[in-house]
Chains A and B, each alone.
Chain A
Amino acid sequence: MPAAVHLDDILARADVWRGDALAAAPQPGVASGFAELDAELPGGGWARGALTELLPTRTGVGELSLLLPALAQVSEDELAWVVCVAPPHPLHAPALAQGGVALERLLVVGAPGRDAAWSCARALATEGVGAVVAWLPAADATLLRRLHLAAEGSRALFFVFRPGACAATASPAPLRLQIDGEGEQLRVSILKRRGGGRPAPLSLAIRRPASLAAAGAQAQPPAASPVARIGAGRRAAPPAASSDSSSRPASPHALACPVPAAPAARRAS
């Protein structure tokens, strides 16, 4: 009697794909650092050699923090370079270092307009570049397709940030994520992926600078009508820990009333 072949064995083969499952990626992905997200991404993480399009509703919701674990892994564990192309605001080095990115293998390219796409293509073609993060607000479908083809020849992660309004238009990117903030969580909806299916939006606990729970319900500014004047001779406050923010209204550092602007502050504005 021939040995029974289990259906599970057949389904486990690489060349058998079930319509309700995710497609297998040609190269294993880089873990995103969020198990819920990895489970939904083909290849079990951010895809190498493919364009990943990220559509944050607005800057500041935590879109770059979402990538930080993967970037840290690429730059610290794989000793590969991370290239940031055309960031809309200057990147702050201490924060990147806190996020685990090795600054000695980080390259920033401030390229305006069409040069940004060219810089991405050049970076993707370079041996030793592990991740390319680009902000291309003006990219059209043709340009994205060209960049995706450029990415296919490399092993690098390739993330492109575009405005959230682009979610309605078609894009050649095999993976598209819409990103929005939701309190302390980050809400990630997968608009498009290989393998079909459109899972429910994920709520990811990304690293936030402070926790809302510790801040408590206290959502008040330091004082309704600030009175104290910032003393020049006073010592600087210790770095803010979220725990002492609850005692803030009573602290001696309560904020100044709107006094006429001091010269230093006027320069800052």
Chain B
Amino acid sequence: MLWLALFLPRLPLDARPDLPSAAACRPPQPRAVVELDRVLVADEAAQAAGVVPGLRLASARARLPELVALPRDPAQEAAALARLACWAGSFTSEVSLAPPATLLLELSSSLRLFGGVEALSARIVNEVLAQGFSVQPALAPTPLAAQWLAFAARPAAAGFPAVAECANNAYFVCRDLAALPLQLGTLPLSLLDLGEDRQARLAAFGARTLADVLALPRAGLARRVGAGFAADLARALGERPDPRPRFAFPEHFREAIELPARCENAPALAFAARRLIAALCGWLAVRAAGIHECVLELRCERGSAATPALTLALTFAAATRDPARIARVLDERLARLQLPAPVESLCLRADAVEALAGQTTSLFAAAGSNSRDRSGDTATGVAELVERLQARLGEQCVYRLVAVSEHRPEKATQKAAFQLAQRAHAKRRKATPAGAGEPAHGAVPAPAAASLGARPLCLLPEPQALAEQGGRPQRGGPLRLVAGPERIESGWWDEGEPGAVGDVRRDYFIALSARAEWLWIFRSDAGWFLHGLFA
């Protein structure tokens, strides 16, 4: 067993995501969370001005008049911790909460997948930091030892042997159970989360570090300090089992986040939404699932029914649980959004979840990416491209073309929504291409080329009338008819339907203009028309 404890020392403050726009346009405002008229947690700017935890609010205001004092909100802290637990599901299924502010992840079964303990723990810590939490991590073979080590935070400067560095953040690493007493021994007792009276009693024994306590006879210690403390010691050292309740991942994903200040700038919301997306992806990983669509609700102006929540539906070409991909699509949507009113909270929900297997890595470690399945790879690459283009340009602007066997040229090309190639292939017989009308169910991949006359590469959306002089069509001079006629007629069955071509009677010719353009023109009752270009 290998437990990674993530202690979040500033959770009351970090639970409210700071908006980057606020930091960008003004000097960062010092913030502190206040409980019972005393400062509980203060950020760096406030601490630099001497606002330390435990200070009275009045004194803090005297030192730093512009201090933003926020009331403590335990519900929000718990929600933030639960969101982080959801996010941690992308690394391990064994996640456990240790309230008020610690998260425990069991990593031993994930090491191989993520490339070793150093790589995995560094990645986890970096992602926590990227979500805007400050964190004190620690790795230990038992959960309680990891918790204590994380709580103790900065390793003593006196050359602690097993320390890893991550993001300028040194933290305890202890993987060996036998070495645990030695490692724990260096911790001062004052750092442990013991009660006041226990601290005083142990200090009366002359014990200042855990090593001093461990040197004492265990039975006597249990009698004099309490059985609970002795049992904790035994759990921390792995002498007693320490079962932890697993974090129960919610059945449906619906997470909301309150913004610390009303936000009028849509792109600035992306940062707050990152946390929701991270939680969603972890939650999906635990269920081995992916989403085709998720909905981000932007709630404006608390309590006013006049402005309903703004919903952004993010759609994906293929089921996904890649946070970077979801975030890219969201960024494109937010960049184009005009907020009707300042936003107060965000809510992300995923209604339709579908199974999505994880990626299989190759049995033999391959150096390059050649070993990966190329066709599957390219399809997901293009799917991501389609999502980004659609998010920016609108869904109707990005499409595939389907050739339909239909004699009227206007109907022979139909736009189809993007599908992954494998699925399109499997369903080709049955599926109706999206966006196609009712005759699309006779859609065939491509009519045999021989059965069809020459067709132009570009077809004008509307036939253009051509002038006629002496019975010859004109376009920059008389047109020379090279081939034809090809009679295309009839179509009474969809006459009168909106957007339909209807009944036609046309004789098509291939014509060459004096300017060397190859044109597809037709003659109908109304005269000559240009219909296509052999570009």
Give chain A's interface residues, CB within 8 Å of chain B. 57-65, 79-81, 83, 87-99, 103-111, 115, 118-119, 122-123, 126-129, 180-183, 208-212, 214-215, 219-226, 230, 232, 236-237, 239-242, 245, 248, 253, 255-256, 258-262, 264-269
Of the candidates B382, B393, B518, the one whose C-beta lies within 8 Å of that of A62 is B518
Give the complex CA separation of A226 and B523 in angstroms: 11
Q: Are A242 and B523 in contact (CB under 8 A)?
A: no
B409 (CB) vs chain A CBs: closest residue: A92
Q: Within the complex, which residue of B415, B460, B523 is in contact with A89, where a contact is CB–CB below 8 Å?
A: B460
Judging by beta carbons under 8 Å apart, are A240 and B455 in contact? no
Q: Determine if B523 and A94 form an interchain contact, defined as CB atoms under 8 angstroms apart.
A: no
Closest to A235 in B: B487
Do B401 and A96 touch (CB < 8 A)?
A: yes
Known: A129-B385, A248-B485. A98 touches B524 (CB 8 A): no
**8 Å CB contacts to A: which residues of B382-401?**
382, 384-386, 388-389, 392-393, 396-401
B48 within 8 A of A: no
Q: 1/0 per position for B418-430, CB-CB distance to A under 8 A?
A: 1001001100000
Please, how many residues of chain B have a CB less than 8 angstroms from a CB on the other chain?
95
User: In this assembly, does B127 line the interface, its C-beta being within 8 Å of a C-beta of chain A?
Assistant: no
For B379, the chain A residues whose CB sits under 8 A away are: 128
Q: Known: A90-B458, A230-B507, A236-B490. Contact between A267 and B502, CB under 8 A?
A: yes
In Å, the complex CA distance between A63 and B517 comes to 10
Nearest CB in chain A to that of B532: its residue: A92
User: Which segment of B3-11, B154-162, B442-450 sits at the interface?
Assistant: B442-450
Q: A93-B401, A221-B473, A225-B471 are in contact. Are A119 and B389 (CB under 8 A)?
A: yes
* A211 and B384 alpha carbons, distance in the complex (Å): 43
Mark B517-535 against chain A: 1 for CB-CB distance below 8 A, else 0.
Answer: 1111001111101001111
Asked whether A210 lies within 8 Å of B483 as measured between CB atoms, the reply is yes
Contact B483 A262 (CB under 8 A): no
Give the chain B neighbours of A90 by CB distance below 8 A: 413, 458-461
List of B residues within 8 angstroms of A240 by Cβ: 453, 483-486, 508-510
B228 contacts chain A at the CB level, 8 A cutoff: no
Least CB distance, B384 to chain A, in whole angstroms:
7
Residue contact A107 to B455, C-beta cutoff 8 Å:
no
Given contacts A89-B460, A90-B459, contact A59 B535 (CB under 8 A): yes
Chain A residues, Cβ within 8 Å of B480? 219
The reply to whether A91 and B413 contact each other, CB–CB distance below 8 Å, is yes
Residue of B382, B452, B520 with most chain A CB atoms under a 10 A cut-off: B382
Q: Which residues of A lie under 8 Å from residue B517 when comparing CB positions?
A: 58-61, 181
Within 8 A of A (CB), among B447-481: 447, 449, 451-463, 465, 468, 470-473, 480-481
A155 and B489 alpha carbons, distance in the complex (Å) = 45
